[in-house]
Amino acid sequence: MLTFSRNKLVSIYRRDEGILLVRGILEDDIYGMEVVVSITLPDLEIVSIQGKWTRMENSECPRAVPFLQEAVGFHLLEEGFRQRVQKTVGRKSCRHFANILMECCDAAVDAASVIRVEAERGGKNNLPLKDSLGAENENAKDPIQAGEDLEPEMAKPVEADSVEGLVIDLHVHTSEASPCSSAPLGDLVTEAKRIGLDGICLTDHNHVWDPKTLAELRQRHDFLILRGNEIATDQGDMLVFGFDEDIKEVMRLDELRRKVLKTGGFIIAAHPFRGFLTFGIGQLGLTPEKAMERPLFQHVDAVEVLNSKVSDKENHFSSQAAAGLGLPGTGGSDAHEVEEVGVYATRFSDTITNEEELVEALKGGSYSPITFRKGRGEKE
């Protein structure tokens, strides 16, 4: 029986007041690689990249390493940043190097956002990253490790077969439209149907699917395939529904919010604490109460509280923040591989047959994040 696994790890260290060091590791059954990226604060410019192979597919792989330097000088928040990385690193170097480099850059944007918020609150901005992120109390406990009950009113995710309803994976990436994905759309649909999902939402990075194309695909596969968009903003990635504008650059979140409100759309904060808990909650001094002060939560309608690409602690922390803010929680796989679809999903009580009904159901709030694939005895 053929098996395959892929693991990614990103860690961040604040070298000094003006530099973040980000280390990314990508390992699977075929190859392994590592990058170390130096990124300036506060303008988020890549000033150096070091890369190496720990395990290679073939003897040609080492030729990819020098082309990593093509991304030196890129600004993480500049228009077309992702496209430039894929065009240079992805094509000239290696798409796998481009993949882990983007993971490093996404984590750096999140870390810089925390540093900025702490600085605005009067925090010291010349400390190591773990202190700069709000470690006001050196004796602060990790509430999860300490076993404290911080979610008495939070709706816990339900298992796949425990209640009735329509189950949709709200966060899926295809190889056709997301360079970081290795999952062809047709294979995703086949797998989604096999494991019993009722539908999937295509949320490719800064990509708008043609509605006619998806209508044809729905009819061909006899399966609910809906459109969304994962849009990069200055405060993290946002899952946006009911919004057709084709945005390629990194946007200000408040500007995106104004645009989406005009179309009657819906915004979900995707994996809002990805990478934030790398050092452990106790080291960061980051509590749900502090997390709820993040400006991004003023501009979203819901929070993704189950995402298969972050840790259980980060999902748990997202759930705490959403519950404290009174925002609904959603679940999605964030699938970039076929076997990842449906790991987490969202169960709706409403009937959904098109995008308009999806947006109305999201606004109605009658849904729950669920553990789906594992809940049915499937392997992740």
List, for residues 294-341, the tens digit of each pLDDT value.
Answer: 889 999 999 999 999 888 888 988 999 999 999 999 999 999 999 999
Sheet holding 32-40, edge to edge: 6-16, 19-28, 32-40, 46-55
Listed ranges 55-64, 68-77, 105-114; the one with the highest mean pLDDT: 68-77
Q: Could you tell me which residue, 17 or 123, shows the higher pLDDT?
A: 17
- 122-133 pLDDT tens trace: 654 444 444 433
What is the pLDDT at residue 336? Answer: 92
Q: Quick one: residue 156, left, alpha or beta (phi over 0 = left, psi -120 to 50 = alpha)?
A: beta
Strands 166-172 and 199-202: parallel
How far lies 290's CA from each of 32, 133, 269, in Å? Answer: 37, 10, 17
Q: How far apart are CA 296 and CA 105, in angstroms?
A: 19
Residues 6+ positions from 268 with CB-CB distance below 8 Å: 170, 238, 239, 240, 241, 300, 301, 302, 303, 304, 330, 362
What is the pLDDT at residue 126? Answer: 41
Q: How confident is the model at residue 155 (pLDDT cuts 50, 70, 90)?
A: very low
Q: How far apart are CA 242 and CA 251, in angstroms?
A: 17
Tokens representing 93? 């170097």
Q: DSSP assignment, residue 366?
A: -
List beta partners, residue 32. Answer: 27, 55
Phi, psi of 4 (to 5 degrees): -155, 140
Q: How far apart are CA 264 and CA 356, in angstroms?
A: 10
What is the pLDDT at residue 365? Answer: 92
